[in-house]
A and B are shown apart, each in its own frame.
Chain A
Amino acid sequence: MAQVRTLDVVQDVQILPVERARGSVLGQFVRKKPLGAAGGVLVLLLVTTAVLADVLATHDPVRTSMNVLVAPGADAWLGTDNLGRDLYSRVIHGSRISLLVGLASTVVGTVIGGLIGLISGYAGGKTDLLSQRLMDIMQALPILVLALVLAASLGPSLTNAIIAISIPIVPRAARIIRASVLAIRGLTYVESARALGARHVRIALRHILPNTMGPFIVLATAQLGASILVEAALSFLGLGIPEPYPSWGRMLSIAAAEYAEKAPWLVIWPGLAISLAVFGTNLLGDALRDTLDPRLRGS
């Protein structure tokens, strides 16, 4: 009887159409997630622009000239601003600031938050309770308001902007990593590692941490877009990146004040650059989440 059953099962498996993985991992991703691939292209474009900014720019992004508020044309592809600086070159160089601040604050915020989440989820008990409450407290303020107050008390500088943007990310990262650590902690392989006499630090770092990488990558991609937006808002309000760095948000603040009507290109291009950069990371982040974390699919 048992033998017959086994045979049945084997036959069933053979009848089912087996979907074989075709092509490379990248090829599959592009076929299954066309929107995510488009996001990937946008992110790649952002990175390339930032790396090759010196080559791509036609003018010095910070040098002023007498040709103020020139309309887009052959000399200045996207026009010039109120100080006669070439807008195209400034938008190109702005990608560096956006990417630098976005990446740095995302890495700092998610790594610190991730470690807190790992310790909190692994240790449990009072440590967990205490850090959970602390994260609750930090989440009581909107990201932008907390970053705004931080930036104001630290003073405007590149480093301070990165600190101000990374701190609000910490509780959000801690929460997600903690949840995934809690799920992994109870699995059999962790138990067997413990039974083999592995120390806590080794279990946490070697056995649990690598398995939180999926949610971690998803989280970091989503936060990258959010960080770029917060940087833009801070700089727009004059509390983020100080002059002379060409920051997209800062370009909008000067443009917004007086010249928008006379020179609409000052408003359109930096904002479009921010939107495309964030759109790209969001598209990519969504597709990565679907691929790496099936539980969150569609959310």
Chain B
Amino acid sequence: MRGYVTKRLVIAGITLLGMSMVIFVLMRLAPGNIVDILFESAGYVDQADKKQLERELGVDRPLAVQYARWVGEVMRGDLGKSYRYDMPAWKIIKPRLPVTLELAFLALVFSVLLGVPFGVLSAVQQDRPLDYVLRILSLAGLSMPSFWLGMVVILLFVRALGWMPSVTYVSPFVDLKANLWQFTIPALAVGYRSSALIMRITRSAMLEVLREDYIRTAWAKGQRKTLVVWRHALKNASLPVLTVVGIEFAFLIGGLVVTETVFNLPGVARYLVDAIQLRDYPVVQNLTMFITVVVVLANLAVDLLYAWADPRIKYGSA
């Protein structure tokens, strides 16, 4: 158990370090540095000013020095400065965090609440009409762009009910009901896609478990169907589902990028798109690193949860 945890921690560390290098190099693929971009938008270029700013930002130093300096800053929790807004990036990110977290949390809850029961039903009813309907519905969820689904839902609401989604963000501490109204639909739009994947994994895991001997024993003992399916079988089928929920978390953040844009929610993912469009590269670099950290931590949490839930890992045989 301890060996497993140490191994996971080391891998997470290596992943973060490697990703920081990848992001750093990626950001320097674009022609010109941040100073060029800043001056390009200003129109007028004074070479002396430019040199001065280059020195201030350290972009005239060797790449290795720049990288070391950046990693040092990130480790200290300094997310740099936004040149477009002329303020620390953290000041912009902080008020946006609750928006993204609430959306991600609700979407994850929806996807599990929809995905797991439907996956179990689909497995129990294998190759019957209900199974086909659920499988088609889940495949449709994987096929529709979440941003398009969001647009269509908004359109339906506007057309059929005359209801308009709030243009400005409502904090849950100000008006919880209005806030939930505002978040439910985008969370469903993102969660539908994730629920589709969770449903498919639940179904296949259940199909495998339902064929095992101990389930046959449970049937033979004359135990009730609900108990066999939802207690005995689901318990063992939940391990692969747990992994997928962890992986889905990363997908979810990807989905938030477009969903926050469509529903006009001022979240972190939306800010990434804004920063990219404004070519605020230092912010893009730090925000991408921030997302990497969140994803790696989420995966680590799932790995540790897995170790706790699966005795095979606990006793070191896997």
Contact = CB atoms under 8 A, between A and B. Distances in A.
Contact of A275 (B11, B23, B140, B292): B140
A298 B18 CA distance: 35
Given A140-B19, A144-B254, A238-B277, A267 B151 contact: yes
B11 A136 contact: yes
A248 to B, nearest CB: 9
A4 B145 CA distance: 64
A260 B155 contact: yes
B296 A140 contact: yes
Interface residues of B, number: 58
Given A140-B295, A141-B19, A274 B272 contact: no
B143 interface: yes
B243 interface: no
B74 to A, nearest CB: 15
A286 interface: yes
Interface in A128-148: 133-134, 136-138, 140-145, 148
A271 B148 contact: yes
A299 B136 contact: no
Nearest to B28: A153
Nearest to B250: A142
Nearest to B207: A298
B103 to A, nearest CB: 15
- Highest count of chain B CB atoms <10 Å: which of A134, A152, A271: A152
A166 to B, nearest CB: 15
Interface stretch (B79-87, B256-264, B304-312): B256-264
Q: Is the interface of B mostly helix, strand, loop or mixed?
A: helix
B26 A133 contact: no
B36 to A, nearest CB: 14
A237 B278 CA distance: 13
B30 A154 contact: yes
A99 to B, nearest CB: 15
Contacts of A72: none
Contacts of A134: 18
Given A144-B254, A149-B276, A239-B276, A283 B139 contact: yes
A56 to B, nearest CB: 23
A142 B136 contact: no
A285 B210 CA distance: 25
Contacts of B299: 140
A275 B145 contact: yes
B58 to A, nearest CB: 19
Given A145-B257, A264-B155, A282-B143, A252 B201 contact: no
Q: Is the interface of A mostly helix, strand, loop or mixed?
A: helix
B273 interface: yes
Interface string B196-227: 00001101100100000000000000000000
Contact of B258 (A237, A267, A282, A283): A237
- Highest count of chain B CB atoms <10 Å: which of A35, A256, A268: A256
Interface string B150-181: 01101100110000000000000000000000
Contacts of B292: 140-141
A145 B155 contact: no
A112 to B, nearest CB: 16
B114 interface: no
A282 B142 contact: yes
Nearest to A267: B151
Interface of A: 35, 133-134, 136-138, 140-145, 148-150, 152-155, 225, 229, 232-233, 236-239, 249, 252, 256, 260-261, 264, 267-268, 271, 274-276, 278-279, 282-283, 286, 297-299
12 contacts: A136-B14, A140-B16, A141-B295, A233-B145, A237-B273, A238-B277, A267-B152, A267-B155, A275-B144, A286-B139, A297-B204, A298-B126
